[in-house]
Structure 1
Amino acid sequence: MPAGKYQLLVVDSSSANRQLIGECLSQLDDASVSLAADGQSAVELIASIRPDLILIDMNLRDTDGISLVRRIRNREQLSTESDLNLWTPVIFLSSVMDEDMLAQGIIAGGDDFLHKPVSEIILLAKVRAMLRIVGMQRDIHAAHRRLKQIATLDGLTCIPNRRYFDDTLTTEWKRCQRAGAPLSLLLIDIDYFKQFNDAYGHQAGDQCLKAVASALNESLFRVEDSVARYGGEEFAAILPGTAAAGALAVAERMRASTSELRIPHKHGVDSFVSCSIGVASTHPVAEQTAEQLLQAADHSLYEAKHAGRNRIVLHPECRG
């Protein structure tokens, strides 16, 4: 199936009706049609193909169309796949013209109604109209995803920003708590960065930040790990499922990668740009908070800077 095609689902207990409607809809070059004979088959297909439009007969073999639409709308409301509520347009099909039933169907979440036997011209016209709305919804979702990405990226370094870090730390804390898994946190500070800016200018400082951010990001080997710009010349890395020993290994890669950039810094350690890293690790429990882990990493970073910089310090409570 070519990418970008609309997915249509026809749910009708009559084999003849399914085939007739399916053949009619197959005239649409930008759509692919699937068929279901009952409500359960429809639910399974909805989960697998995620249709853009559903046509449902009011009377099915194992349920009625109104009940099926209620299941579909409940599933959409419970979905966590997007910040925007999902909405799949539904057209009811019925051989009986009943105003009360039509009203109940619309209240349940239906969007339109077609009387059977269905006119091919009216069917194609209504489906095309619905698909125009679906196309606009796709555009809105794509724009929303782009805006969300922009909102969580640091404009200078193009890695995640503080907002992303805060949200991800909260999420990973809860997830690791449920799983009984360790969670480690690194706070990274570019050594003597103010002096670097004073000596070489803010433009050079921006280039330094971008280079260090890239080196830190490339030091992460797992997709679940992330590094963000925490603020100014500080960065932070979240390592879910990683205990202290693994966190120290990641921290050493980051420290070494920064040193290997060999960015001249006359006020820096050994006359090059370097970084200091504070490490904290724990198994999240209800009695603790993510803020405490962050404070532990910050304390370790302070110790690393106090001890001479260009080094890594693990929080004392994480040792052993």
Structure 2
Amino acid sequence: MNELSVVKSVVLVVDDDRIIRCLLRRAMEKEGYKVIEAENGEECLAAFQSLAPHIVLLDAIMPVMDGFTCCTQLQALPGGDRTPVLMITGLEDKQSVDRAFEVGATDFVTKPIHWPVLRQRVRRLLQTSFLFNQLEAANQKLERLASLDGLTQLANRRRFDEYLDQQWRHMAREKLPLSLLLCDIDFFKPYNDTYGHQAGDLCLQNVGAALRLALKRSTDLVARYGGEEFAAILPNTKIFGALHIAETIREQVKALGIAHAKSTVSPCVTLSLGIACLIPMPDVSSATLLKAADEALYQAKARGRDRWCVSSEAATKAIAVGDSIHLG
């Protein structure tokens, strides 16, 4: 742990004895820590929630709420199970020591306090906590990167598959509709051949950004499905809502005005979309929804592209919105 981290560390000292608190404050401030104080367990919990200390020095025997009860309740607070608690106690019997660790204490020292030992244990606990938090942050970053498409920064195919299965199970439990859109950039290979792969990458990024803007809810997921294909998972969305989103996406991509001289349907880049909507059943795979959306996408391409089509199962529920919109 570097010196800057030491100086910025906040130590919460909890003891009903004012003299002990004063001695602990001086010892900790001498090490460069910022110190806050509490007289009992209740004050400790309040201070922890408002000030988020990096470590808690907690007396075991206190009025109002003792350290054992306080430590138990600390574990239930946000961040409480990751913040080291050093129990300070005059009790040295095996039962008290075991109880301290059972309620979540990270370590303990006995009274009278051996100050060099206390300083070293505080530093070690802070360093371990700091390194653990760094490792956790790095793992979270790796997990995010593993779920993202490097080019478009949308969810990748791996994340799409995970989320589709997750939402399929969730919607099945709740008996709610799940909608899926599959989108394909029209004539993308001729676009790449004409303008080059660098322009093709930029096109994919711009189309991906347009899809992301079209989805408003945090539960909706847009992903790069593969190549020039994108997908959108819309939990708890009926067919009419999916139609509206599909048309919004189609219009927004066309409004980008990305020139496409080799397209036979428009002078600019367009999308074809397939729409499927089902209320999932526990004994049916999410592949059923995927297959329906893929068939609808095939129909959209067969009918001339730059349009969306609905899977045959949902077609009777759909309403055509305009000349460029056709049911599958």
Shorter-chain TM range is: 0.7 to 0.9
Aligned mates of 1:48, 1:281 — CA distance in 2: 46
Given candidates 126, 132, 153, the residue that maps to 2:127 is: 132
Unmatched runs of 5 consecutive residues or more in structure 1:
none
Aligned mates of 1:126, 1:35 — CA distance in 2: 21
Matched, 1:272 2:271: no
Aligned mates of 1:172, 1:44 — CA distance in 2: 38
1:54 is displaced (CA, Å) by: 3.3
Q: Is the 8 A contact 2:40 2:66 kept in 1?
A: no
Given candidates 36, 40, 56, the residue that maps to 1:37 is: 40
- Closer, same or farther: CA 18–280 of 1 in aligned 2, 3 Å: farther
Aligned mates of 2:244, 2:27 — CA distance in 1: 58
Aligned mates of 1:316, 1:47 — CA distance in 2: 54
1:233 is displaced (CA, Å) by: 0.7
Unmatched runs of 5 consecutive residues or more in structure 2:
1-6, 318-328
One-letter code aligned to 1:143: A
1:132 is displaced (CA, Å) by: 1.8
Q: Is the 8 A contact 2:17 2:39 kept in 1?
A: no
SS of match in other structure, 2:266: helix
Q: Tell me the TM-score normalised to structure 1 length.
A: 0.79
Q: Name the Cα RMSD after superposition.
A: 3.5
Q: Is the 8 A contact 1:92 1:113 kept in 2?
A: yes
Given candidates 144, 161, 168, the residue that maps to 2:163 is: 168
Given candidates 232, 236, 250, the residue that maps to 1:237 is: 232
SS of match in other structure, 1:55: strand
Q: Which residue of 2 aligns with 1:181?
A: 176
% of aligned pairs identical?
A: 36
1:203 is displaced (CA, Å) by: 2.3
Larger gyration radius, structure 1 or structure 2 = 2
Q: How many residues align?
A: 308
- More deviation, 257-266/176-185: 176-185
Given candidates 297, 304, 313, the residue that maps to 1:308 is: 304
1:100 is displaced (CA, Å) by: 5.8
- Closer, same or farther: CA 181–120 of 1 in aligned 2, 3 Å: farther
Q: Which residue of 2 aligns with 1:295?
A: 291
Q: Which residue of 2 aligns with 1:157?
A: 152
SS of match in other structure, 1:264: coil
1:154 is displaced (CA, Å) by: 0.8
Q: Is the 8 A contact 1:186 1:297 kept in 2?
A: yes
Q: Which residue of 1 aligns with 2:110?
A: 115
1:1-320 superposed matches below 5 A: 6=9, 8-10=11-13, 14=16, 16=18, 19-20=21-22, 23-24=25-26, 27=29, 31=34, 33=36, 35=38, 37-38=40-41, 52-59=54-61, 87-99=82-94, 101-102=96-97, 105-106=100-101, 110-118=105-113, 122-268=117-263, 269-318=265-314, 319-320=316-317
Q: Tell me the TM-score normalised to structure 2 length.
A: 0.77
1:294 is displaced (CA, Å) by: 1.6
**Over residues 170-229 of structure 1, what are the superposed CA-to-partner deviations in whole Å (9 max), with x where a residue is unaligned?**
232333334443321111011111222233332222222112111211222223322110
One-letter code aligned to 2:312: P
Aligned mates of 1:173, 1:52 — CA distance in 2: 40
SS of match in other structure, 2:151: coil
- Closer, same or farther: CA 87–227 of 1 in aligned 2, 3 Å: same
- Closer, same or farther: CA 167–31 of 1 in aligned 2, 3 Å: farther
Aligned mates of 2:73, 2:249 — CA distance in 1: 49
Aligned mates of 1:283, 1:17 — CA distance in 2: 66
Q: Is the 8 A contact 1:10 1:34 kept in 2?
A: yes
Aligned mates of 1:32, 1:226 — CA distance in 2: 44
One-letter code aligned to 2:249: M
One-letter code aligned to 2:309: V
SS of match in other structure, 1:239: strand
Aligned mates of 1:49, 1:241 — CA distance in 2: 39
One-letter code aligned to 2:56: I
